Amino acid sequence: RKEVEQDPGPFNVPEGATVAFNCTYSNSASQSFFWYRQDCRKEPKLLMSVYSSGNEDGRFTAQLNRASQYISLLIRDSKLSDSATYLCVVNSLNDYKLSFGAGTTVTVRA
Amino acid sequence: DAGVTQSPTHLIKTRGQQVTLRCSPISGHKSVSWYQQVLGQGPQFIFQYYEKEERGRGNFPDRFSARQFPNYSSELNVNALLLGDSALYLCASSLQTGGDGQFFGPGTRLTVL
């Protein structure tokens, strides 16, 4: 079983729409959770950390459900510039690596 | 401030050859991690170095090796290249060891023919 699993999509949405997607993680010892954004042929960039209480950053809202071991990302009022692959990332206490999902592709159309 | 830099940006090699990839971390960062990203997948952890010592190793064969220099820059070496080594190789730097606070460089795209 993969450490982090994501729906690959693609999610194809019109501008202004709301899009949401989840990822699940297998290691119950995971302590830190992140969403990274990756544009085509570019490096991943940190979008936001995910906290137990949930958190917002502008149009982006992340939620964590430790009991069910899933993380969600919601994008409101989608912009064309939100088109990218969103990578779900987890890290365990005292672990050296970030564990990445394969990514969810979002395409926002005009 | 400069971000993480990697060289070269692109590289083409043939099977059996050896390759060396280079990474310079963000100023002040002492930890460097290497990841391999194959097309259509997320990055996979290869190594982490902190203060010139290997702190973590992923599930990669011994053909993969790395080192970190006194100025905290790092090299990733891959011997006896296989077609399956074709990937984007990403370097990430962070202040401390561990998974938090990693910032990625633009990567080196390796093609093995």
Percentage of chain B lying above the pLDDT 70 cut: 98
C-alpha–C-alpha distance, residues B10 and B108, integer Å: 5
Mean pLDDT of B51-72: 94
Mean pLDDT, rounded, for B63-78:
97
pLDDT of residue A12: 96
pLDDT band at B95 (very low <50, low <70, confident <90, very high): confident
Take residue A106 and report the two structure tokens written for it.
Answer: 């979002």
Q: Which pLDDT value is given to residue B1?
A: 61
Test A96 with B90 for CB contact under 8 angstroms.
no
Instruction: Count other Cβ atoms within 10 Å, centred on residue A18.
Output: 12
Interface touch A96/B97, C-beta < 8 Å: yes
| Interface contact B5, partner A, CB < 8 A | no
Closest residue on chain B to A30 (Cα): B99
pLDDT digits (tens, 9 = 90+) for A58-88: 999 999 999 999 999 999 999 999 999 999 9
Whether the CB-CB separation of B43 and B89 falls below 8 Å is answered with: no
Of all residues in chain A, the one with the smallest CA distance to B103 is: A45
> Using omega within 30 degrees of 0 as the cis cutoff, is the peptide bond preceding A10 cis?
yes
B110 within 8 A of B87, measured Cβ to Cβ: yes
In angstroms, the CA A88 to CA B54 distance is 26
Low-confidence ranges of chain A (pLDDT < 50): none
Q: What DSSP assignment string belongs to B76-108?
A: EEE-S--GGG-EEEEEEEESSSSSTT-EE---E
Would you call B42 and A101 a contact, using CB atoms and an 8 Å cutoff?
A: yes
Instruction: Read off the pLDDT of residues B17-38 as tens digits, 9 standing for 90 and up.
Output: 999 999 999 999 999 999 999 9
Q: Which pLDDT score, from 0 to 100, does residue A39 have?
A: 96
**Chain A residue nearest residue B58, CA to CA:** A97
A27 inside 8 A of chain B by CB: no
CA-based nearest distance A103→chain B, Å:
6
Q: What is the mean pLDDT of residues B62-85?
A: 97
Q: Which of B45, B54, B86 to mutate to test the interface with A (most CBs of A within 10 A)?
A: B45
